[in-house]
Amino acid sequence: MNFSDAAKALNIAQSSLSQQIKQLEDELDVPLFYRSSHSIRLTEAGEEMLPFAMRTIHDAETCENRIHDLRKLQTGVLNIGVTHSFSPILTESVISYMKMYPHIKLKVIYKPMNELMDLLAKRDLDFVLAFRPTQPVADVESHILFQDRLSAVVSTFHPLASKNKVTLAELQDYELALPSKGLQARNAFDSLVTSSDDFRIHIELNEVNILLKLIRQTRLVTVLAEDSIYNEKDVKAIPLDVPQNDMVGCVHILKDTYHKNSMKEFIRMLGESLAVKKRQNSWI
């Protein structure tokens, strides 16, 4: 809703953009925008045309993606969305993929799952790595990679470190450093407890690496998926002793849309990686 900002985004002069829109309005014989000295907004005709314009853009991008794939993965961009808990799982596959397909540019974005799903719906991401959401997401397929468990994470010198399981009652005896509300591990924890007010929450963080640094250096306890500490030193994950303590690691993709060969190949390599296979067989 700003001609100047739109022109900058398109890397063209504002006068050129205005002229093109005016030509389109002349061709259709209807105004698409209400214009004033302070703002612009879509007319009824503009609102009607918008979804068709978006579909045209997506069709053009699909055409471009197909041509890239015909070049046998010698060019293109792969956009990956990842929650912080999946960082240890992703690294191995990224390194292998870069070696095998050096001309494919990888763009990896770390955000909370809800934000990643919004980007996926807008097609700004090709797929998302995250735990399965508590409620299905419209137009998204979730394919299982591995099973995981919600766990209390402590330093190796913490009193709980010697235990094989931890009850929620035992957690109430310690100060907690929890992931921020909205992050998947926190959502899972909140769904298991009657009220988070029953616990001594000393700090909340939306950055897992800082959270783990705090755990290493204090007697604080956090709650994360067990595999969030894969290859992390001086911390231990003790599964929570509660029913329905499952967290399912998934690849999330859009339904009924074109999927890049570069995406399919990355997911194949991810499924065959040691990091994922270790988690798939952790119950044996």
DSSP string, 89-144: HHHHHHHHHHHH-TTSEEEEEE--HHHHHHHHHTTS-SEEEEEPPSSPPTTEEEEE
Q: Using the 8-state DSSP alphabet, how is residue 282 labeled?
A: T
User: What is the full per-residue pLDDT of the chain (284 aa) written as tens digits?
Assistant: 888 899 999 999 999 999 999 999 999 999 999 988 778 999 999 999 999 999 898 888 888 887 887 777 888 899 999 998 788 788 889 999 999 999 999 999 999 889 999 999 999 999 999 998 878 889 999 999 988 889 999 999 999 999 999 999 999 999 999 999 888 888 889 888 888 788 999 999 988 889 999 999 999 999 998 888 877 899 999 999 998 788 888 999 999 888 999 999 999 999 998 888 877 755 44
pLDDT of 277: 83
Q: What is the C-alpha end-to-end distance of the chain, expressed in Å? A: 57
141 domain-assigned: yes
Q: Of 243, 251, 196, 259, nearest to 223 (Cα)? A: 196
Residue 236 and residue 254 in one domain? no
pLDDT of 284: 40
Q: Of 91, 59, 100, 97, nearest to 78 (Cα)? A: 97
Cβ-in-10-Å burial (0-12, 13-18, 19+) of 109 comes to middle
68 domain-assigned: no
69 domain-assigned: no
Whether 215 and 153 have beta carbons less than 8 Å apart is answered as yes
65 domain-assigned: no
Residue 257 and residue 228 in one domain? no
pLDDT of 248: 87
103 domain-assigned: yes
Per-residue three-class SS string for 156-171? CCCHHHHCCCECHHHH
Q: Using the 8-state DSSP alphabet, how is residue 68 labeled?
A: H
In the predicted model, what is the mean pLDDT of the chain?
A: 90
What are the pLDDT digits (tens) for 179-211? 998 888 888 898 888 887 889 999 999 888 899
Structurally, how many domains does the chain consist of?
Answer: 3
Residue 91 and residue 175 in one domain? no
Residue type for 156, please? T
pLDDT of 154: 96
Residue 142 and residue 253 in one domain? yes
67 domain-assigned: no
Residue type for 228, please? S
Whether 151 and 238 have beta carbons less than 8 Å apart is answered as yes
Quote the domain boundaries for residue 255: 77-146+247-280
